[in-house]
A and B are shown apart, each in its own frame.
Chain A
Amino acid sequence: MIKVQGLVKRFGGVAVLDGIDLAIEQGEIIVVIGPSGTGKSTLLRCLNFLERPDAGYLTIGDLAVDVTKASRADILEARRRTAFVFQNYALFANKTALENIAEGLIVVNRWPKEKAHARAREILERIGLTDKADAYPASLSGGQQQRVGIGRAMAAQAEVILFDEPTSSLDPEWVEEVLALMKQLAQERQTMLVVTHEMGFARDVADRVIFMEGGRIVEQGPPSRLFGDPQDPRTRDFLRKVLANQVSLDAT
């Protein structure tokens, strides 16, 4: 269970997150949508303490902190309980696919190397990259890199995996394989909080879709409701614009 209460983040006096309340059940798949500059990335980054929030309470499993009073240990713990998948993959450039996945287990969880590598191999199999174990990121395609990025997040066995536009940097040809992997994780009931513009994915996979604008959650609900019968004019406006230039919703 993850609970966010009254989360505020300001950049130079501007509240980019303006009081976010959010509860995520174990196994829930949530998709966050909203216009550019609305604070979607900032929300994810605050949950992972890549940004230090200015106010709010955060509960991740049995870790409960007032974010303004979070100690170094609290922050490390929060990061260990949340995994992050980056838009630009951010694989460790000096490490192979296998090492990227095993790194956290070795350094953070202090597993012996053999055990960590064995686990990493299991994960490589699940992400379909067994043959790329020893490849360095520079030699992998965008799709393969992002799958390793997801593999690295899977290895962390976090309470939730945070995805920040995982397919936005990909050439169109690689988008499907990454979405397929995310669907597979969703079927295994991996708790996920996904920021994406892939409305087809949201409709098919999400338990709940959240529409954000101006640092606030404007509206949320099951995808059928939010897409089929949006209540707030801002949601309607956004969906009309997005769906107008996205055919994937009808195609899938």
Chain B
Amino acid sequence: MRVLDFDYMLGLVPILLRYLPLTLQMAAMGMALALVLACGLAVIRVLRIPGLNAATLLFISFFRGTPLLVQLFLFYYGLPQLLAFLTQINGITATIMGLTLHFSAYMAESIRAAIVGVDRSQTEAALSIGMTNGQLMRRVVLPQATRVAVPTLMNYFIDMIKATSLAFTLGVTELMGATQKEAAGSFLYFEAFITVAIFYWVIVELLAWFQRRLETRLNEAYRR
């Protein structure tokens, strides 16, 4: 047993803070792209667009059925051997791409479930007053589906922030990569990794707090 080196840990904080933006940027980019892709996939699934529906099912099955780490290695190390133009791909881009594809597969299913879960009577009421399909989606179904989907999507966002730590395996120096380097220099592995763990923990708790506030607001219309 030895005592923790608190001074070292405190000294690590400003260093790690420099790498925080990259972690958050990768997560934010991944989330934004995944949301767009997931909405598209969900619509294909809801409308059962012929051809595309089968392709979407295959896509979802693959990206949910294989580990994220394997997918990242596949994009970063594997694909460039097949597709020459991808030799330019850097670790950050590959990470964002992997996070996007992986999480969009999960998110598509929760968005689809939220849309399908909106009561049929809501659609009929909208049709009965003469709304088009587009109008009833925008004004009635999607707002109600959002309320159902948002908590799940926020959970995926939290997962995604944690998953950005895998980027260090592609040589990206983000929060985790930086910690790894610091620890290797000082040999204070416990101090280094508990510090970075607290970093992720604080970010996640902040998001969870924001998530609760958001849910309260979204549920306003449904309180009895």
A residues adjacent to B (C-beta < 8 A): 48-50, 76-77, 79-80, 82-84, 86, 88, 90-96, 103-104, 107-108, 136, 138-139, 152, 156
Partner of A84, one of B119, B128, B221: B128
CB distance from B121 to the nearest CB of A (A): 4
* Minimum CB–CB distance for A238 against chain B, Å: 28
Shortest Cβ distance from B68 into chain A, in angstroms?
A: 35
Contact between chains at B130 and A93 (CB < 8 Å): no
Closest approach, in angstroms, between the C-beta of A195 and any C-beta of chain B? 15
Q: Across the interface, do A94 and B130 meet the contact criterion of CB distance under 8 Å? A: no
B interface size (C-beta, 8 A): 23
Q: Is the CB of A94 within 8 A of B144?
A: yes
| B140 near A92: Cβ-Cβ < 8 Å | yes
Give the complex CA separation of A79 and B136 in angstroms.
14
Query: Complex formed: what's the CA distance from A95 to B141 in Å?
Result: 12
Q: For A76, give its contact among B132, B140, B147 (CB under 8 Å).
A: B132
Among A86, A95, A96, A136, which residue has its beta carbon within 8 angstroms of that of B124? Answer: A86
User: Is A139 a contact partner of B128 (Cβ separation < 8 A)?
Assistant: no
* Complex CA distance for A138 and B220, rounded to whole angstroms: 10
Partner-A contacts on B (CB < 8 A) = 119, 121-122, 124-132, 135, 139-140, 143-144, 147, 220-224
A-B contact count (CB 8 A): 75
Q: Are B129 and A90 in contact (CB under 8 A)?
A: no
Assess the B128–A83 pair: CB atoms within 8 A: yes
Contact of A88 among B121, B130, B139, B221 (CB under 8 A): B121
CA of A37 to CA of B101, assembled, Å: 49
Which chain A positions have C-beta within 8 A of B130?
A: 76-77, 79-80, 104, 108, 156
The complex places the Cα of A138 from the Cα of B219 at a distance, in Å, of 11
Closest 5 CB pairs of A and B: A80-B130, A84-B128, A104-B129, A90-B125, A90-B121
B132 / chain A contacts, CB cutoff of 8 Å:
76
CA distance A91 to B126 in the complex (A): 9
- Give Cα distance in the complex from A245 to B178, angstroms: 80
Q: What separation, in Å, do the CA atoms of A91 and B124 have in the docked complex?
A: 10
Q: List 18 A-B contacts (CB under 8 A).
A: A50-B127, A76-B130, A80-B129, A90-B121, A92-B122, A92-B126, A94-B144, A94-B147, A103-B129, A104-B131, A107-B135, A108-B131, A136-B222, A136-B223, A138-B223, A138-B224, A152-B125, A156-B130
Residue of B nearest to A44 (CB): B128
* Candidates B121, B126, B140, B221; contact of A136 at CB < 8 Å: B221
Complex CA gap A220/B144 in Å reads: 43
Q: Are A50 and B128 in contact (CB under 8 A)?
A: yes
Interface centre among B119, B122, B129, B147 (most CB of A within 10 A): B129
Which of A49, A93, A104 is B221 in contact with, Cβ under 8 Å?
A: A93
A90 CA / B140 CA spacing, docked (Å): 12
